[in-house]
């Protein structure tokens, strides 16, 4: 069997960098050098300065390119650095169509930064292809999607968007943070740029902030490389190594977390204190069939809305297992409050228009046992139920 026929699970471990060719070390060496000695005037070295190229960063960039099915990967200092650098493929006067419940940081870049440089935008409901089509303008150059979206887990039809984009000469950018290439590979569906907050599932241990971008077109890769080198928001070698180490266990972490997430989402769905659970793994989720077509699972994140929006604080303070924090995709379960965390950069009225209300919580399920998580949620929910009954009687 040859390497390109191996499953994703095997490719995570057995790639060009499985051992160091000079020493045999079964771990990518961390090359801290900022600069590299040049043999002579006419010698053009592979590496000359670490902003332009670094062997540890290159190992990570090659690994993510292979896993996403691209030709070129780029590692950045954060997910936002990757996203912002990719947006600078655009020029003054260009227009971006962007999903309306996009991550708050991306919302901020588009509305407060790109707008100052004459790059226009329109927010649309990406699940509605007619709405997307009718908002494409002659100057639209990028359609930007997140699927499933954060935090309402809406599913966008990647192939449908790609068709519209290609027909209108636009690029499709996909933020693949929630799914990772273990579950969804947008380049194989025709997308042009895949973006990641590698801070999340890819690194997976809440110990590094990192971003990645992958393209499948050499020319686009050259343009993005030029921007990466020009802007310089590169990922340091130590952090590249942390992401590379995290990647090795991506498959097993995500499988385990996803299995627990599906069971836990089902428990919350039937709980009297819970109004709604947003999880694309449910058969009655409006995007479930698209999710099944374009991804190999529904992921390990879901959101839920409490009947009594004011009880969020009480619920959070009664839970013992999940950390209450900004972020997702880690070994420990992370509970977050989108209104004040991931979407704090979005004005309240914009948030509420998008359904990101004050009673909404998002859970990223980690590697704890399902039984322990279930017990913890049930005891915390029962406390708010009792309180709601007492205050209303």
**CB under 6 A: which stretch of 9-17, 45-53, 72-80, 376-384 binds ligand PLP?**
72-80
Structure tokens at 217: 């077109």
What tokens were used for 181? 């290439």
Q: How far is the CB of 227 from ligand PLP (least distance, A)?
A: 17
Does the footprint of ligand PLP cover residue 342 (CB under 6 A)?
yes
- Options 11, 20, 47, 51, the catalytic residue: 51
Does the footprint of ligand PLP cover residue 257 (CB under 6 A)?
no
Region of 257 on the Ramachandran plot (φ > 0 left; ψ -120 to 50 alpha; else beta): alpha
Which one of the listed residues 94, 101, 157, 175 is annotated catalytic? Answer: 175
Q: Which two tokens stand for residue 354?
A: 């998008």
Q: How far is the CB of 279 from ligand PLP (least distance, A)?
A: 16
- Catalytic status, residue 175: yes
Catalytic site residue 57? no
Active-site entry in 57, 185, 200, 253: 200
Is residue 80 involved in binding ligand PLP (CB under 6 A)? yes
Rg (CA), the chain: 22
Q: Is 209 in the site for ligand PLP (CB under 6 A)?
A: yes
Q: How far is the CB of 3 from ligand PLP (least distance, A)?
A: 30
- CA dist list (Å): 26 to 17, 20, 137, 245, 246: 8, 6, 51, 11, 15
Pick from 150, 257, 260, 388: which binds ligand PLP (CB under 6 A)?
Answer: 150
Shortest Cβ contact with ligand PLP: which residue?
Answer: 79
- Burial class, 383, CB count within 10 angstroms (exposed 0-12 / middle 13-18 / buried 19+): middle
Site string for ligand PLP, 166-205 (x = CB under 6 A): ---------x-x-------------------x-x------
57, 103, 279, 362: the catalytic one is 103
Give, for 178, the enclosing helix (H) or strand (E).
none
Buried b (16+ CB within 10 A) or exposed e, 96-133: bbbbbbbbbbbbebbbeebeeeebbbbbbbbbebeebb
Which among 63-71, 78-86, 93-101, 123-131 is the span making contact with ligand PLP, rule CB under 6 A? Answer: 78-86
Report angle CA 87, 89, 95 to the nearest 5 degrees.
65
Q: What are 296's two structure tokens? A: 């190999």
d(CA 294, CA 299): 12
Is residue 279 annotated as part of the catalytic site, yes or no?
no
Name which of 337, 392, 393 is nearest 364 in CA terms: 337
- From 75-83, 111-119, 123-131, 346-354, give the range in contact with ligand PLP by CB under 6 A: 75-83
Q: Which residues pair with 76 in a beta bridge?
A: 211, 234
Select from 74, 87, 103, 173 the one that contacts ligand PLP (CB under 6 A): 103
Question: Distance between CA 186 and CA 162 in Å, rounded?
Answer: 10
- The residues annotated with a catalytic role in the active site are 51, 103, 175, 200
Judged by the rule CB under 6 A, the positions of this chain that interact with ligand PLP are 78-80, 103, 105, 146, 150, 175, 177, 197, 199, 209, 211, 342
């Amino acid at each position: 069997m040859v390497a390109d026929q191996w499953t994703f699970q095997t490719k995570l471990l057995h790639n060009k960098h499985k051992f160091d060719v000079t020493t045999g070390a079964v771990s990518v060496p961390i090359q801290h050098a900022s600069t590299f000695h040049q043999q002579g005037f006419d010698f053009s070295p592979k590496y000359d300065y670490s902003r332009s190229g670094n062997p540890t960063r290159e190992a990570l960039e090659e690994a993510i390119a292979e896993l996403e099915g691209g030709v070129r990967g780029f590692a950045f200092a954060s997910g936002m650095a990757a996203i912002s650098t990719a947006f600078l493929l655009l020029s003054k006067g260009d227009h971006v169509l962007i999903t309306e419940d996009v991550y708050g940081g991306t919302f901020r870049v588009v509305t407060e930064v790109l707008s100052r440089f004459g790059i226009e935008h329109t927010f649309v409901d990406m699940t509605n292809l007619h709405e997307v089509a009718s908002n494409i303008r002659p100057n639209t150059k990028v359609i930007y999607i997140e699927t499933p979206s954060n935090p309402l887990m809406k599913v966008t039809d990647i192939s449908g968007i790609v068709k519209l984009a290609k027909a209108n000469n636009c690029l499709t950018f996909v933020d693949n943070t929630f799914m990772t290439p273990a579950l969804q590979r947008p380049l194989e569906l025709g997308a042009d740029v895949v973006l990641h907050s590698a801070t999340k599932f890819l690194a997976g241990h809440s110990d590094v902030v990192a971003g990645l971008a992958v393209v499948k077109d050499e020319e686009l890769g050259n343009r993005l490389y030029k921007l990466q080198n020009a802007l310089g928001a590169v990922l340091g070698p130590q952090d590249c190594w942390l992401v590379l180490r995290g990647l090795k266990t991506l498959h097993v972490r995500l499988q385990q977390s996803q299995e627990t997430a599906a069971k836990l989402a089902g428990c919350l769905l039937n709980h009297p204190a819970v109004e709604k659970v947003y999880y694309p793994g449910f058969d009655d989720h409006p995007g479930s069939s698209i999710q099944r077509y374009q991804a190999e699972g529904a992921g390990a994140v879901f959101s839920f809305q409490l009947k009594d929006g004011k009880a969020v604080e009480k619920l959070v303070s009664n839970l013992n297992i999940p950390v209450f924090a900004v972020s997702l995709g880690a070994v420990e379960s992370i509970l977050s409050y989108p209104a004040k965390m991931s979407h704090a950069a979005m004005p309240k009225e914009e948030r509420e228009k998008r359904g990101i209300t004050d009673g909404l919580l998002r859970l990223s399920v980690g590697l704890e046992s399902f039984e322990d998580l279930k017990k913890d949620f049930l005891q915390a929910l029962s406390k708010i139920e009792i309180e709601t009954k007492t205050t209303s009687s």
